[in-house]
Amino acid sequence: MSDYYKTLDLTKGASIDEVKKAYKKLAKKYHPDVSTHPEAEKKFKEVVEAYQVLSDTEKKQNYDNYGDSYKNFQGHSGFSGFGQGQRMDFDFEDIFNQFSGMNIDLGDLFGRRKQKARQDYGQNVKVNLTLLFKEAAFGTEKEVSFDRITKCSPCKGTGAENGKVKTCKTCGGNGRVIRQQRTPFGVFQSQATCHDCRGEGKIAEKKCTKCNGNGLITKKTKLKVKIPEGINTANHLRLSGKGHEGRDGAGDLYVVIFVDKHDIFKRDEVDVYAEIPISFTESALGATVEVPTLKGKADLKIPAGTQTGTIFRLKGKGIKHVNSSSHGDEYIKVIVETPKKVSKKQRELLAKLEKEEQLAKKRKSFFEKVLGKF
Ligand SMILES: [Zn+2]
Ligand SMILES: [Zn+2]
């Protein structure tokens, strides 16, 4: 399991300020462009991942509370895997495009977006989604809404009224302009993208009035998201092509999951934990008691002589693994309750019991004495 605090050389519970300081130091140290460490890239990614969680108040709190649920996340994160056209992937991919606060382009760093660097792709979008304990355990469908940059519909993203365009005069339709720079060493020429047509070579005859020639507008967008059974805090759902639109294509939408606490059940990955009170007599004599499970009540047999704090396992009564069909278990901890108030009748019975216990003790010490002599 990953220990984000350890990754950042911090002690558990360190403040966000300390996290930021440690991150700056380590990101510099392991940045693959500069580091000579043999595992620089791996280390760097670990540091970034730890930072993403611990620098965010909400996520940090979740991590501090749930800690272990981040196990899923670990080992699945990475850059490989999902091709175009999959509309609804489930993955644990880091949302590096959303990553802010440090001036590092992670896309470029790992060669992911290099090819497309000059094209105008929409940005990835991250939305947080908080689920009820049961929604995460059983899966559901939720709606997320966000301000999405989309292609303007009257001009179909061209920025030109009725889509009418003409050749850009600045670059002569080339899309690129030659720039001259005078320096003490002579005149240097360089090529640059034409500003007027953004490299398209064409500009609007008349600007579209809806988007003011921009081609893109911001629209409140609602989307239904299918939540798979067994999802947990820190998991991400990626909806390919549902992020902001650009002129050449749309980015992805990342839905970052947070799961609320439950009054009865505590969750550790796919296992759930609950505590139930039992009476002194039930613990001493044994009993069959009703216990809560995720899918209603179940009977639990408690053997005679059960001590307080004993844990029983209900096999397969936990949560489904998000990417397999197997289920976790439920663990029930029994707490033997001592009555705070007793009735007259109960007091009499308990007094008798006490007398019996005293006799048993006396008999025991008598036998020990006698036996000790032999
Ligand atoms: Zn131009
Ligand atoms: Zn328009």
For the chain, give every domain's residue range: 266-338
Q: What is the pLDDT of residues 134-176, one digit of tens each?
A: 999 999 999 999 999 999 999 988 889 988 889 999 999 988 8
State the pLDDT at residue 339: 85
Q: Tell me the CA–centroid distance for residue 154 and ligand 2, in Å.
A: 5
Distance 201 CA to ligand 1 centre (A): 5
Query: Residue 103's pLDDT is what?
Result: 34
216 alpha carbon, closest ligand: 2
Q: How far is the CA of 175 from the centre of ligand 1 (A)?
A: 5
Smallest CA-to-CA distance from 308 within 288, 274, 269, 334 is with: 334
Q: What was the pLDDT predicted at 166?
A: 92
Ligand 1 centroid vs 117 CA: distance in angstroms? 19
From the options 2.60.120.1140, 3.40.50.300, 2.50.20.10, 2.60.260.20, give the CATH code of 266-338: 2.60.260.20
Residue 97's pLDDT is 35
The reported pTM is 0.57
Residues, beta carbon < 5 Å, ion ligand 2: 152, 155, 208, 210-211
Give residue 246 CA to ligand 2 midpoint distance, Å.
Answer: 13
Beta-carbon neighbour count of residue 202 at 10 Å? Answer: 16
